[in-house]
Amino acid sequence: MRLVLRSLVLTALLSTPVLAQDQYSVGQFFKDLDRGEISTVQVDAYGNAHVEVRGGSPQNTVIPTSPDVLGRIRASGAELTVVGGGRSFGWIVQLLPVILTGLILFVFWRSMRGGGGGGASNTFGRSRAHVFSEGQVKVTFTDVAGCDEAKTDLQEVVEFLRSPERFHSLGARIPHGILLVGPPGSGKTLLAKAVAGEARVPYFSISGSDFVEMFVGVGAARVRDLFDQAKKAAPCIVFIDEIDAVGRKRGLNFNGGNDEREQTLNQLLVEMDGFESKHDIIVLAATNRPDVLDAALLRPGRFDRQVVVDAPDVRGREHILKIHARKKPLDPSVNLTTLAQRTPGMVGADLENLLNEAALLTARDGRGKITMRDLDEAADRVLMGPARKSRVVPEHDKKVTAYHEVGHALVAQLLPHADRVHKLTVVPRGGAAGYMLPLPTDRVHYTREVLEDSIAVALAGQAAEEVTFGDITTGAQSDFQKATNIARKMVTEWGMSEKLGKVANLSESDTFLGPVAQQGAYSQLTAQTIDDEVKRIIDTQYTRVRTLLQEYLPRVHAIVEELLVRETLSGEEFQTLLSGGRIEGGGMYAAGD
């Protein structure tokens, strides 16, 4: 602010007509005047004088403007001209900083008062919630898929908001708050909107970070204002997104003093606990970190119920794809079931992004309908990154990549508990020189056989290099990380080691943002045993894979030759080649045809 005032004062001073006086002093002026060497004097009301000196150049100076001085100039024979006239306003320049300071303080005061009438409340204490009036939210449960159990739990809330008197007559108390927990992008916010759209009640939406400001007490004031507005609009829904931003556990502030975040949380606890029966307000909140929320926030009477909105299964993913594909022109050949099968772990936001990528690819090619090829390419872009077809790969490296990926694919296709091949390619994509894409199976439980086959598939790439070339490369880095992680969990978490027995030496807490490993307390001898068991599992599967590849080595050579020509093979084409068939043009021929 000081810099702004200084610049404004300087601007005002520069706008005042002050003439230069560095080279012609007032003393020299009077000497030249007494000698009769000045012919013309032009002076303004501020004393700024422009002087014409006989035989010399014009000069500027500042002289007194008293009647005696003016009479002395006229008596010398010089021509005197007074311009501007009137009284001096130099006092305005002196008061300019004070005037500007007062103006800025007045503007700041009006902004604090809301910029409106004098009775407006302080804007810092106002809630920043987005308010949707009754019927304005058009989202319903038909627009939400992949979370049928969550919709069933929330249907009770809809019924209460539609006819609260039916519940009140029975003495029933609807949960004050419902906490939606799940990974990012799983549809928690969309589900909250659907509840408001189904119930056709006012909907207040705010983020947890909107409560907290740098000013002390603002967060608590905003909480009070939000619930005051909600009570006037009851029955209604208040939705707090990312509530972990304001609802974290108290007592973790090591800086001392009062924490603004804790004051905001305390006010939120008071408001949720202070509902009267006539205030039919449902508080919905969303978070992907339920483990960090304060215990007082989760007790009965506040957030009475937790609804898990987890990643959808294959059927849920198919329904989500159908919803997002309603406004997109799909070719009749598109099979959303297959697309749902190859996208395990994806949530609604990921699937919507996948369909959007496919639409962009279709528009880029100038076509009018989205094909299965576009969806397949879009899925690869989302998972692996764009294809790097312009990258120059030496022939030997390309051949090594082909054997590596065919090794993965062959073992995956032959082992009984492994995921089958969906596609394999030697086209570089993202940071990979090539890849084998399996068609994963949604499982709830993983047996020892499933885990061992998964390790074997991961190790098959480097095993194929060693069997074929007698040497290995650095291309199996991520494969070994995957195999080692599975083997270590088998030993430390899942009790699948006979030496260690049914003991959990490592635990993970799932926060919907990825597992967080916590090492247990065990001796150095146990640590050595864990390492030995992990190595034993990996060595056993590596030996198993090498034996399988050596048995099918002639078939591996034939598939690699075809892959180097075509660069990409689908799962059906790979199975045809593995069975001894051939591929000619666009058709596939089985062995013996």
Q: Which residues are catalytic?
A: 405
Non-local (6+) Cβ contacts of 5 within 8 A are 97, 100, 101, 104
Pairing relationship of beta strands 79-83 and 203-207 according to DSSP bridges? unpaired
Pairwise CA distance, residues 515 & 510, whole Å: 5
Residue 518 gets which letter from DSSP? E
Buried b (16+ CB within 10 A) or exposed e, 26-61: eeebbebbeeebbeebbbbbbbbbbbbbeeeeebbb
CB 384 within 8 A of CB 430: yes
Could you write out the DSSP letters of every residue in 276-299? Answer: -TT--EEEEEEES-GGGB-HHHHS
CB 479 within 8 A of CB 462: yes
Which tokens in the block code for residue 371? 């094909």
The label of the residue with tokens 């800086």 reads 255
Which of 277, 274, 271, 276 minimizes the C-alpha distance to 285?
271
CB 206 within 8 A of CB 128: yes
What is the Rg, in whole angstroms, of the alpha carbon atoms belonging to the chain? 40
Buried b (16+ CB within 10 A) or exposed e, 473-511: bebbeebeebbbebbbbbbbbeebbeebeeeebbeeeeb
Instruction: Tell me the C-alpha to C-alpha distance, in Å, between residue 284 and each of 209, 379, 578.
Output: 16, 33, 54
Q: How many other CB atoms are there within 10 angstroms of residue 134's CB atom?
A: 14
Non-local (6+) Cβ contacts of 28 within 8 A are 61
Non-local (6+) Cβ contacts of 381 within 8 A are 357, 387
Pairwise CA distance, residues 82 & 107, whole Å: 41
Strand partners, 420: 439
H or E stretch including 516?
A: strand 515-519
CB 463 within 8 A of CB 472: no
